[in-house]
Structure 1
Amino acid sequence: MSQISNFIHALENSTAHRPIRDILSGEVIQNTKLLPVIMGIALDVNNENHYKACWTLELVIEHNINWLTDYVDQFCNTLPSFSHVGAIRSISKICMFVAKYHLKSLKTNNTFLTEKQAQQIIETSFDWLISDTKVASKAYAMRALFEFGKLHDWIYPELQEILSKDFAHHSPAYQSASKEILQKIAKTKP
């Protein structure tokens, strides 16, 4: 079997356990010819293993966010299509990485996202925040929105309203993340 076939087989048989994800992401990091493979599977929501690819992709992008550059348009266009809980958790975390990196790149007069792509991430993050998504995904979404709020002044009031309104109806983990973001927003006000 070829290295790509072996990788796909390992991915199909993987679990969300961190050591397994570390091995698979390590393979991609060591051999970037596997990057189009993992991207292709992760961004194809009709692939029955796309969520497993998302678990690995999260670690790959955390290692080197610039590897998303050639795929960012496809990534942003696919965002509303993710419905698997495991995929959304990893993809929302990647959105948080992207939001932070985009703001960082703007400080050096570069852009990582187009305005349309940023808008797609913002809209999807708000959707995750107000839908019946798991807490981890909501926490990553609110953190991404906090970053984008530094560029768009309409985001903080919307985010504050949602977080304040939903606060009492969620778990302690959600409340902790929500409180953190609300405090950060409060510090940004003059």
Structure 2
Amino acid sequence: MKNCIYDKLDYVNALRERRKQLSEEILSTPSLFPDLVSACFSEDEIISTKACWVLEFVCKEKLYWIIPSIDTFTANIRTLKADGAIRSAGKVCELLCERYFDKHPNQIKKSLTEEHLHKITETCFDWLIGNRKVAVKAYAMYCLFLLGTKFEWIYPELRLILMQGYGEHSAAYRSRAKHILDKLAGET
């Protein structure tokens, strides 16, 4: 089955239409999903990136599908190297955090453990302080803001990192950082 997902990923490219097409096929064939998650962490950065692109699309529709693979996902997101893979994994982390911190009971809230949340937290801090693109840093900021509602030690660290990096980054980074800093000010 793994070869099947790799064959399918060969036809994926940066065009949204191609990513959407494979995500729709996976949504109609859920048995492909575990192999897609595995492909996200392939040694081949091209396969990894394509798989992460598709994973993002699938998770936007069926986020709870990731639950059986959540150990694999959270243990390996920090190993991703390619910018495209990291951006899509960051979006999946954001979706997970949003659902986890939703006021209503849901499968994600029941399934994510503190260990999963800690791994997401560590990875988001790595992305935020590392040499990553703004989109990844924006996802990391928002995830950390949400995670800080559970782990009080996050807010002081997040505030410090955002304030230190404020003058060094682009206008897009500063805009998102200001938004998060304003939210942090409202929380204290």
TM-score with structure 1 setting the length: 0.90
Cα offset, 1:130, TM superposition: 0.2
Q: Which residue of 1 aligns with 2:114?
A: 115
Q: Name the Cα RMSD after superposition.
A: 2.2
Q: Which residue of 2 aligns with 1:89?
A: 87
Percent of pairs with identical residues: 35
Q: Which residue of 1 aligns with 2:134?
A: 135
Decide whether aligned partners of structure 1 residues 112 and 103 sit closer, same or farther in structure 2, where only a CA change above 3 A counts: farther
Work out whether residues 45 and 82 of structure 2, in 8 Å CA contact, stay in contact via their aligned partners in 1. no
Work out whether residues 105 and 112 of structure 1, in 8 Å CA contact, stay in contact via their aligned partners in 2. no
Gaps of 5+ in 1: none
Q: Which residue of 2 aligns with 1:149?
A: 148
Residue-pair matches, total: 187
Decide whether aligned partners of structure 1 residues 105 and 83 sit closer, same or farther in structure 2, where only a CA change above 3 A counts: farther
Decide whether aligned partners of structure 1 residues 36 and 131 sit closer, same or farther in structure 2, where only a CA change above 3 A counts: same
Work out whether residues 59 and 92 of structure 2, in 8 Å CA contact, stay in contact via their aligned partners in 1. yes
Decide whether aligned partners of structure 1 residues 98 and 45 sit closer, same or farther in structure 2, where only a CA change above 3 A counts: farther
Cα offset, 1:98, TM superposition: 1.0
Q: Which residue of 2 aligns with 1:52?
A: 50
Query: What amino acid does structure 1 have at the position aligned with 2:166?
Result: F
Decide whether aligned partners of structure 1 residues 177 and 103 sit closer, same or farther in structure 2, where only a CA change above 3 A counts: same
Q: Which residue of 2 aligns with 1:79?
A: 77
Q: Does 1:14 align with 2:12?
A: yes
Q: Which residue of 1 aligns with 2:33?
A: 35
- Paired with 1:113 and 1:32, the residues of 2 have a C-alpha distance of 21
Cα offset, 1:10, TM superposition: 3.6
Structure 1 stretch displaced more, 176-185 or 63-72: 176-185
Q: Which residue of 2 aligns with 1:100?
A: 98
Work out whether residues 5 and 36 of structure 2, in 8 Å CA contact, stay in contact via their aligned partners in 1. no
- Paired with 1:179 and 1:112, the residues of 2 have a C-alpha distance of 32
Structure 1 stretch displaced more, 101-110 or 125-134: 101-110
Q: Which residue of 2 aligns with 1:186?
A: 185
Work out whether residues 40 and 48 of structure 2, in 8 Å CA contact, stay in contact via their aligned partners in 1. yes
Work out whether residues 6 and 39 of structure 2, in 8 Å CA contact, stay in contact via their aligned partners in 1. no
Q: Name the SS of the counterpart of 2:111 in structure 1.
A: coil
- Paired with 1:117 and 1:19, the residues of 2 have a C-alpha distance of 32
Query: What amino acid does structure 2 have at the position aligned with 1:134?
Result: K
Work out whether residues 65 and 98 of structure 1, in 8 Å CA contact, stay in contact via their aligned partners in 2. yes
Q: Which residue of 1 aligns with 2:160?
A: 161
Work out whether residues 63 and 96 of structure 2, in 8 Å CA contact, stay in contact via their aligned partners in 1. yes
The one-character-per-residue Cα deviations of 1:93-126 (angstroms, maximum 9, x if unpaired) are: 1111111112227857953311111101100100
Structure 1 stretches of 4+ moved >6 Å: 3-6
- Paired with 1:136 and 1:150, the residues of 2 have a C-alpha distance of 22
- Paired with 1:164 and 1:6, the residues of 2 have a C-alpha distance of 47
TM-score with structure 2 setting the length: 0.91
Cα offset, 1:83, TM superposition: 1.0
